[in-house]
Every structure is written in structure tokens, then in C-alpha cells.
Chains A and B, each alone.
Chain A
Amino acid sequence: AQSVTQLDSQVPVFEEAPVELRCNYSSSVSVYLFWYVQYPNQGLQLLLKYLSGSTLVKGINGFEAEFNKSQTSFHLRKPSVHISDTAEYFCAVSGSNFGNEKLTFGTGTRLTIIP
């Protein structure tokens, strides 16, 4: 079984400032890791994913995340945020075994950009 902890439920950040959204996971098996974004009244959009290989993963909209196996973390970062980044962000994990499509999500972090 897997679990995901997002330590911050809300993060306010000034426009053009950097941001880091934290995510820690727990799993007894190898995992894939994801960050999704949800805008109001919308579904989830994939920002980036880690499957294997380089631990620094780049995604859409200027976001990146670093997989740290020893700390079981997958923190999301952006060097300079924009008003349009205001949304809820979800970290998720799935087992890496074939046929395992189940995503286990964290509780989400609401990112608010202050003009």
C-alpha cells in the first residue's frame, strides 16, 4: 500500500517569487510519482511525472520536481510564479507493477498567488 503526505494545505506566494510545494510518500514497493493541478470546477491536469532515470523532472508551465528516494520526497518547485498558477496541486503515487493504474493522492495544497 502507498500513502502520500502534502505538508502544507495552503501556500500564499507573491507574484514572481519562487515556490516549493512539499510531498512525501510511503510505499513498500517501487513507485511512480506525479503532480497534478486542478483549477476551479475542472478535472486534474498532469504537471509532471517521475517513472525512472533522472531524479530532476521538468514539467509544463515551468514546474519541476526532484525525486529523493532516501527522503521519500517529491517536492514541486517553480522559480517564478504567475497569477495564473493559482490552483490546487495534488501529489500522487502509484505502484510500478504492470496493470496498477490506481493513483493514491495527497490531500492537496492550495497555491494562492498574491499580486
Chain B
Amino acid sequence: KAGVTQTPRYLIKTRGQQVTLSCSPISGHRSVSWYQQTPGQGLQFLFEYFSETQRNKGNFPGRFSGRQFSNSRSEMNVSTLELGDSALYLCASSLGGSRGRAFFGQGTRLTVV
């Protein structure tokens, strides 16, 4: 069974640009969550999608958005990039019944210069 796949693994962008990150969940999983990991703020919840609907949202500005497709694949978009958006972005997939087994991808390392 394939794990959670995040692409790309590494990205370098310039301030002001926008970026799209992709996450393919484990087959059969309907919930996809996104987290930002930085040395200063640690792991912070961005949002969660379940059956193409955003079900939970963290405290991030509107520049951070996401969507989920009918095949459960999810994308996260960050517009007008700032230096502080440099981070490891992690995607987690689960069945969605909140019994706690979330599987994480290896992450996308975004560097904003």
C-alpha cells in the first residue's frame, strides 16, 4: 500500500510569488490535513479537507488556501509569498473518522528568498 506522497520535495520561490503544493493520500483515505513546521512556531495546523469540503481551519491568513479533488488528492496554495512562509509543509491523510491514525508524507521544504 503506497504511503502519502507529497510533491515536490523541495521548492525555492521568490517573495511575492505564489506556490502550489500537492498531496496524494493513501488509497481509501478521505481526509487530508496540512501542517506547517518551522523552527520558531513548531507544527501548526493549516486546514483539513474531507470529501472535497474544508472541515477544519487553523489560524493562518487568507493567503493560505487549499482544495481537495474527487479522488481525495489535495493541493495547498500560498499566494504573495513572504520570507516567513519558509517551512516544511506536511500533509497527513486518514480515513476521516477521527480515531486517530493519521499518516504523514515526507513533506515539501519551501524556501522563500
Contacts and interface: CB of A to CB of B under 8 A. Distances in A.
B94 interface: yes
B90 A44 contact: yes
Contacts of B96: 99, 101
A103 B50 contact: no
Contact of A101 (B42, B44, B90, B98): B98
A53 B82 CA distance: 46
Interface in A11-57: 32, 34, 36, 41-46, 49, 51
A103 B90 CA distance: 12
A90 B56 CA distance: 21
B74 to A, nearest CB: 13
A43 B56 contact: no
A103 B42 contact: no
